[in-house]
Structure 1
Amino acid sequence: MSETMNKTKIRWGILGCGNVTEIKSGPAYQKTDGFEVVAVMRRDANKAADYAKRHGVSKYYSDADALINDDEVDAVYIATPPDSHKLYALKVAAAGKPCCIEKPMAPSYADSLEIQKAFELKKLPLFVAYYRRSLPRFLKVKEWLDANEIGQVRHIRWFLGKPPNDIDLSGEYNWRTDAKVAPAGYFDDLASHGLDLFAYLLGDFKSVSGTALNQQGLYSAKDAITGHWLHENGITGSGTWNFGTHQREDLVEIYGSEGKISFAVFEEADVVLANTKGEEKLFIEHPEHVQKFHVENLKKDLLGKQTHPSTGKTAVHTSWVMDSILGNL
C-alpha cells in the first residue's frame, strides 16, 4: 500500500470497459496527472482489445483475476454491472490494492457492508463513484446550504419520472431491469445518485421506509418506488421514482424557513435559489468527462492531501437507505 502511494504514477486497471468508461470515467483516469491506465478487462477479448487500442492502453485482459493480480496494476476501478461488484471487490481487497467501485456499490446493503469490511480489515482505500459529491453544480447547492441562504432546512423532496424506452417495450434483455442483477431496476441505477447526494448535502439518514412494486409488467425489476425519511438533524424527506410516466421529469426541492433551492439530479438544468433577497439561477456546466473532479479527488486522498467525499463508508450508508426504501431490511 505505502509503495503504491510512493510511486511517481499510480497505475490503474479497469474491470469492465463498457459504455460508462468511454467518456464519463475512463479518460478522467488517463488525464489526471499522476494517474495512468495500464490495463483494461472485458469478458469479450475482442471488445477489450478494441477499447485498449482506441484509448491507448497497453494491456487488455478477458480474465478479471489476471488484471487484479498484475504486478503493474497498483489500483483497480470496477465498472462492471453491480451483481459482480462484490465478487471482484473482495478479490481486489485480497490482492491488497486500493479500489474504486461504480455505483451502486452492490445490489444490497449486506453485500456492500461485506465489501467495506474487507477493505477496512486490510486498511485499504475504498471509494465508490458517486461523483456528484465532487461536481461544481452540486457543490454550489452545498455552498448555499452551508451559508444558510434558505434559513433552517425543513424538507427535501425529489420526483424522478420517465417513460419506458424502446428496450423496455420490446422485451429485449437489459441488465438494468433484470431483477437478478438490479432488483429495483432503474431505481438502483438512478436513485442511488440522488440519495447519496442528499446524505452529502443534508447529513446522514436516521430512519427510512418506502414502497416498491412493478406497475407495468414490462420486466422483472421494480418500476415504481416511493420513500420517505428523516435525516439525523431532523430534516424530513420524500421521494418518488416512477419509470412509466408520460414524460421525463427530474426535480429536487429543498425547503427552508427562509427560502427554497431547486435543481435536477440528472437533467441539464439551472440550480435555483429563491429567498427573501430574490431569485438566483445558475447554469453550471459539467466537465466533458463527468468523473473528472471525482477522479482528481481520488488522487488527493491517496496522497493524503484530503479525504475523498465518496468512500466505502458513505456508500454503505446509501446502500442501507436504498434497501430501507425497498423494504429489504
Structure 2
Amino acid sequence: MIGCGSVTELKSGPAYQKTEGFELFAVMRRDIAKAEDYAKRHQVPLFYNDADALINHPEIDAIYIATPPDSHEYYALKVAEAGKICCIEKPMAPSYEACVRINAAFEEKNVPLFVAYYRRSLPRFLQVKEWIDQNEIGTIRHIHWHFAKPTNDMDTSRSYNWRTDAEIAPGGYFDDLASHGLDLFVYLLGTVTSAKGTAENRLGLYTAKDIVKGQWQHDSGVTGYGSWDFGADQREDVVKIYGNEGNITFSVFGECPLVLERDENTISQTIENPEHVQWYHVQNIKAHLSGVKTHPSLGETAMHTAWIMDRILENKIEVINN
C-alpha cells in the first residue's frame, strides 16, 4: 500500500489481509515513523518512505494507492510503468484528464486497474440493482439525491484537510463524497450522456466549494438531479428513484433500510455493511484476477465518473464575498 492513513485502518487494509491468497507485504508513507507504526500494528513485514522501492520490490505483484487524490496520477503512472496490478482510492484523480492519462498507461501495459468505488460491490446496493433489473418499479424516469452535512472542526480550524483544498479537491467534499453516489448511479442506471451544474463557496471557510447542484441524463433517458450542501444545520442523505409503477428510497452513506414502494405495498429491507466495508470490493478483485468475473469498478468506469464530476463543476460560480 502507498499511503496508510485512516481509510486503510479498518475499511480496506484488513480486507486485503484477510482475503485468501492475498498478503499485505509492505506499506509506504512519507513519514517513516508512521509507516513503521502501521506495519507493526498490522503485522506487515516491510515498510518504506520511498514509493519507488516499494513499487519495484520483486516480490510485490500489486499496489493499492491510498493517498489523497492529487498524488494518484504520480504514483499510478509509476505502477503502470512497472507493469503491476493497481487499485486506486476514489476519486481516481482530481480531473477527468488525469484519469484519461492513468487509464491509458494501464491499457498500454495491459495490466488490470481497479478503483475503490466499493459501493458497486456492497450487498445493500446489489439489492437495489436487483429491484431495478426485475422491473419492480416499472420504467424508471428520474433519480434524485440530496446530501447535506454540517461543518466540522477541521473546516473551521487551521488543521489541514485535503477535502477543502481547491488545489486538490476543487469541489470540496463534493469530490470526496458525491463521487461515491454518482458512480453508483451509473452502475445502477447506465452511462451518463450529459451533465451540468453549479458550485459555490458561500461560507468562505476554505478555498474549495461548499454547495453544489447538478443535473444529468443517463443513456436510457433517466434524468437525475443532485444537491450537496456541506454547511447545513443537520445531516441528510436521501436518494429516491422514481418509476412509473413505484419508487425506491435509500441512503448512499448510511445503513438505513432500503425501501421499495409499489402500489399500496411497501418493502423495507435492512442490509448491514461488512466490518471492513471494502471486503466485497477486494473479493471481486480476487475474482477478476482469477478469471471468474469482471470487477464492477475499473479504470474506465471511474474515468466516466470523473467526467460527470467535471461537467457538474465546470459551470461553477466564483467565490462570493459578502
Alignment TM class, shorter chain as reference: over 0.9
1:303 pairs, out of 290, 293, 313, with: 290
Q: 1:60 corresponds to which letter in structure 2?
A: F
Contact 1:270 1:281 in 2 (8 A): yes
* Counterpart-to-counterpart distance in 2, 1:105 and 1:252: 23
SS in 2 for 1:36: coil
1:83 pairs, out of 67, 70, 94, with: 70
Q: 1:290 corresponds to which letter in structure 2?
A: V
Q: Using the TM superposition, give the Cα deviation of residue 173 of structure 1 relative to its aligned residue in structure 2, in angstroms.
A: 1.8
Unaligned 5+ segments in structure 1 are 1-13
SS in 2 for 1:211: strand
Contact 1:225 1:241 in 2 (8 A): yes
- How many residues are matched? 316
Residue 129 of structure 1 pairs with residue 116 of structure 2: yes
* Counterpart-to-counterpart distance in 1, 2:272 and 2:210: 30
* Counterpart-to-counterpart distance in 2, 1:67 and 1:289: 25
* Counterpart-to-counterpart distance in 2, 1:146 and 1:277: 21
* Counterpart-to-counterpart distance in 1, 2:264 and 2:48: 57
RMSD over aligned CA atoms reads 1.0
1:292 pairs, out of 274, 279, 301, with: 279
> Pairwise mapping of residues 93-104 of structure 1 onto structure 2 (< 5 A)?
93-104=80-91
> Pairwise mapping of residues 163-182 of structure 1 onto structure 2 (< 5 A)?
163-182=150-169
**Counterpart for residue 56 of structure 2:** 69
* Counterpart-to-counterpart distance in 2, 1:324 and 1:183: 13
Q: 2:183 corresponds to which letter in structure 1?
A: D
> Pairwise mapping of residues 130-145 of structure 1 onto structure 2 (< 5 A)?
130-145=117-132
1:231 pairs, out of 214, 218, 223, with: 218
* Counterpart-to-counterpart distance in 1, 2:19 and 2:93: 26
- Cα gap change, 1:278/1:130 in structure 2, threshold over 3 Å: closer, same or farther? same
Instruction: Extract structure 1 runs of 4+ deviating beyond 3 A.
Output: none
- The percentage of aligned residue pairs carrying the same residue is 65
Contact 1:154 1:236 in 2 (8 A): yes
Q: Using the TM superposition, give the Cα deviation of residue 311 of structure 1 relative to its aligned residue in structure 2, in angstroms.
A: 0.2
Residue 16 of structure 1 pairs with residue 3 of structure 2: yes
1:148 pairs, out of 135, 141, 163, with: 135
Q: Deviations over 1:99-136 (max 9, x none)?
A: 00000000000001100000001111000000000000
Contact 1:171 1:218 in 2 (8 A): no
Q: Using the TM superposition, give the Cα deviation of residue 170 of structure 1 relative to its aligned residue in structure 2, in angstroms.
A: 2.1
* Counterpart-to-counterpart distance in 1, 2:131 and 2:255: 19
* Counterpart-to-counterpart distance in 2, 1:180 and 1:55: 32
Unaligned 5+ segments in structure 2 are 317-322
* Counterpart-to-counterpart distance in 1, 2:290 and 2:83: 17
Contact 1:133 1:139 in 2 (8 A): yes
Q: 2:138 corresponds to which letter in structure 1?
A: G
SS in 2 for 1:15: coil
Q: Using the TM superposition, give the Cα deviation of residue 174 of structure 1 relative to its aligned residue in structure 2, in angstroms.
A: 1.1
Q: Using the TM superposition, give the Cα deviation of residue 166 of structure 1 relative to its aligned residue in structure 2, in angstroms.
A: 1.2
Q: Using the TM superposition, give the Cα deviation of residue 277 of structure 1 relative to its aligned residue in structure 2, in angstroms.
A: 5.3
SS in 1 for 2:11: coil
* Counterpart-to-counterpart distance in 1, 2:86 and 2:32: 23
2:144 pairs, out of 157, 161, 171, with: 157
- Cα gap change, 1:150/1:195 in structure 2, threshold over 3 Å: closer, same or farther? same
Contact 1:272 1:282 in 2 (8 A): yes
SS in 2 for 1:172: coil
Contact 1:171 1:219 in 2 (8 A): no
Q: Using the TM superposition, give the Cα deviation of residue 268 of structure 1 relative to its aligned residue in structure 2, in angstroms.
A: 2.1
- Cα gap change, 1:230/1:80 in structure 2, threshold over 3 Å: closer, same or farther? same
Q: Deviations over 1:32-62 (max 9, x none)?
A: 1111110000111011001000111000001
2:197 pairs, out of 198, 206, 210, with: 210
Q: Deviations over 1:145-193 (max 9, x none)?
A: 0000000000000000011111112243211111111111100000000
Q: Using the TM superposition, give the Cα deviation of residue 304 of structure 1 relative to its aligned residue in structure 2, in angstroms.
A: 1.0
Contact 1:41 1:63 in 2 (8 A): yes
**Counterpart for residue 109 of structure 1:** 96
Q: Using the TM superposition, give the Cα deviation of residue 328 of structure 1 relative to its aligned residue in structure 2, in angstroms.
A: 6.9
